[in-house]
Copies of this chain bind each other. A is one copy, B any other.
Amino acid sequence: MTRDVSHVTSESNRLILEERNSIVTFAAFDWENLKMTKDTNIRISLPAVCFVWQIAMIILFGVFIRYDDESDAHWVEYKKKNNISTHLENNFYYRYPSFQDVHVMIFVGFGFLMTFLKRYSFGGVGFNFLIAAFGIQWALLMQGWFHSLDTEDWKIKIGIENLINADFCVAGCLIAYGACLGKVSPVQLMVLTLFGVTLYAVEEYIILELLHVRKRCWGSMVIHAFGGYYGLAISWVLYRPMLSQSKHLQASAYHSDVFAMIGTLFLWLYWPSFNSAIADHGDGQHRAAINTYLSLAASVLTTFAISSLSKKHGKLDMVHIQNATLAGGVAMGTASEFMITPYGSLIVGFCSGIVSTFGYHFLTPFMERKLKIQDTCGIHNLHAMPGVIGGIVGAITAATASESVYGREGLIQTFGFEGKNANRTVNVQGGYQAAGLCVAIAFGLVGGALVGGILKLPIWGDASDSNCFDDEVYWEVPEDDEESGAVSLHHNMNHVSSK
């Protein structure tokens, strides 16, 4: 953006012009600096990764993935054979509405929640879109191999439940992205997702198949605790000592905060579907939705309370409202299907809202200063801690379950005390739940540290400390009104001076 002002005689005018330029060509300047620093050109690496991995997906899908009985054209016959009376018994009708809600959470919820930064909204919602779209494909394969590989023909038969689980699996990686928001390149994010999904599938296998934690209810720990610590470990390895150089961009603008509320609300609203999507048919899904609904409501009130308490004049902080209000859903992830009772759900939401908001106020700054963990979205407060709470709540609720509360069949059904677990007691079950939580955290920390090491390699095209949180680095950013203003101003100058 060159500008000829030579014929402006009066010093004062030059001065004023410079001033305005300094405002309007703000972004442009950044971009200049950028060129002098780290190479962020991803013109080869990003397309290469996208193409190669997508082609790999196609091949692997060709080898391994088929439709399951309920999505295959043979359903009509299958239906007859198992004399199923109506098409409605097709799992599609039990799960699809919840699936769509979860799907919205993954792409709109997480995506817009990460648009809160002044000049990183494109990256927030855009890269979320990219890695989620890749992640769900890879998750269908990884989870399929570990959970639903048909040993007859070595094929993975997918149906609606697989899609839901794939969305869940990706959620773990998007949480991790939250900690790295604005500091990593899309290529790094693809790598983060590749390994994240892999780790998740292995972890899930251990927790569900080996520890036999209740299959339907592991959300908090498998997804949130893992995803949270995975992301924190990565951003700990990728610590940027000079990040303060781009401090002016690590803030929200008025509009970007409103955009973020779109994400918050869709996450908050659909969380009951998130926790009930693959719960047991009937009372399981019903109860999971009610418990989550109540827990979320309670965490909203405590979030507002602590947020107001923590500021001068009791002013509310958008960061708290955008994030901590969701803690109730995370903390309900494991126990949502249990008979935790409505007031039990309120108590869980009550506590998690407080913990999460305090986390944003005290812990995040502390972690950055002392532990050298730069957690852009504060996932430690929204996912890691509430995830742990959720795991503990789940363990306790399981350990205290009784036949009088669940009824004989209800107990068996809810905890899956069948087959080789037929004679498991609830206390033992509680213990296994706790063990599962530890596994999740361990996988997150260790896995994250290793992946972080890989991402530290200087080949990924990430930005220099002075260019973080800036969409200019990876996106064609439109000239904004001020700039176009500047242009017309310049035109004007010449016109005037040509008199």
Q: Is the interface of A mostly helix, strand, loop or mixed?
A: helix
14 CB-based A-B contacts, threshold 8 Å: A10-B11, A18-B496, A19-B493, A23-B482, A26-B488, A47-B308, A62-B343, A90-B281, A90-B286, A112-B262, A126-B321, A129-B325, A253-B480, A481-B482
- B163 contacts A72, C-beta separation under 8 Å: no
**Residue A259 at the B interface, CB < 8 A?**
yes
Given contacts A46-B304, A77-B410, A493-B19, contact A343 B58 (CB under 8 A): yes
Contact of A129 among B92, B265, B476, B488 (CB under 8 A): B265
Mark contacts of A2-21 with chain B using CB atoms, 8 A cut-off: 1 yes-contact digit, 0 otherwise: 01010110111101101110
- B258 contacts A409, C-beta separation under 8 Å: no
Closest to A76 in B: B409
Given contacts A71-B283, A254-B478, contact A298 B57 (CB under 8 A): yes
**Residue A111 at the B interface, CB < 8 A?**
yes
In the bound complex, residues from chain B placing their C-beta under 8 Å from that of A136 are: 293, 297
Interface size for chain A: under 10, 10 to 19, 20 to 34, or 35 or more residues?
35 or more
- A40 contacts B88, C-beta separation under 8 Å: no
- B477 contacts A254, C-beta separation under 8 Å: yes
- A311 contacts B43, C-beta separation under 8 Å: yes
**Residue A424 at the B interface, CB < 8 A?**
no
Mark contacts of A123-147 with chain B using CB atoms, 8 A cut-off: 1 yes-contact digit, 0 otherwise: 0011001100110110000000000
**Residue A241 at the B interface, CB < 8 A?**
no
In the bound complex, residues from chain B placing their C-beta under 8 Å from that of A453 are: none
- A87 contacts B92, C-beta separation under 8 Å: no
In the bound complex, residues from chain B placing their C-beta under 8 Å from that of A312 are: 43
Q: Give A78 Cβ to nearest chain B Cβ, in Å.
A: 8
- Complex CA gap A273/B10 in Å reads 65
- A285 contacts B346, C-beta separation under 8 Å: no
Mark contacts of A409-422 with chain B using CB atoms, 8 A cut-off: 1 yes-contact digit, 0 otherwise: 11101100000000
In the bound complex, residues from chain B placing their C-beta under 8 Å from that of A347 are: 58
**Residue A51 at the B interface, CB < 8 A?**
yes
**Residue A370 at the B interface, CB < 8 A?**
no
Cβ < 8 Å to B, chain A residues 255-274: 255, 257-259, 261-262, 265-266, 268-270, 272-273
In the bound complex, residues from chain B placing their C-beta under 8 Å from that of A414 are: 73
- A286 contacts B70, C-beta separation under 8 Å: yes
In the bound complex, residues from chain B placing their C-beta under 8 Å from that of A195 are: none
- A66 contacts B282, C-beta separation under 8 Å: no
**Residue A339 at the B interface, CB < 8 A?**
yes
Closest to A42 in B: B314
- Complex CA gap A32/B312 in Å reads 15
Mark contacts of A76-97 with chain B using CB atoms, 8 A cut-off: 1 yes-contact digit, 0 otherwise: 1101000001111111111011
Q: Which 6 A-B pairs have the closest CB atoms?
A: A43-B314, A73-B410, A75-B283, A133-B300, A23-B485, A50-B305
- Complex CA gap A86/B88 in Å reads 10
- Known interface pairs A5-B19, A57-B298; 6 further A-B residue pairs with C-beta atoms within 8 A, sorted by A's residue number: A19-B492, A47-B305, A77-B407, A92-B285, A133-B296, A255-B255
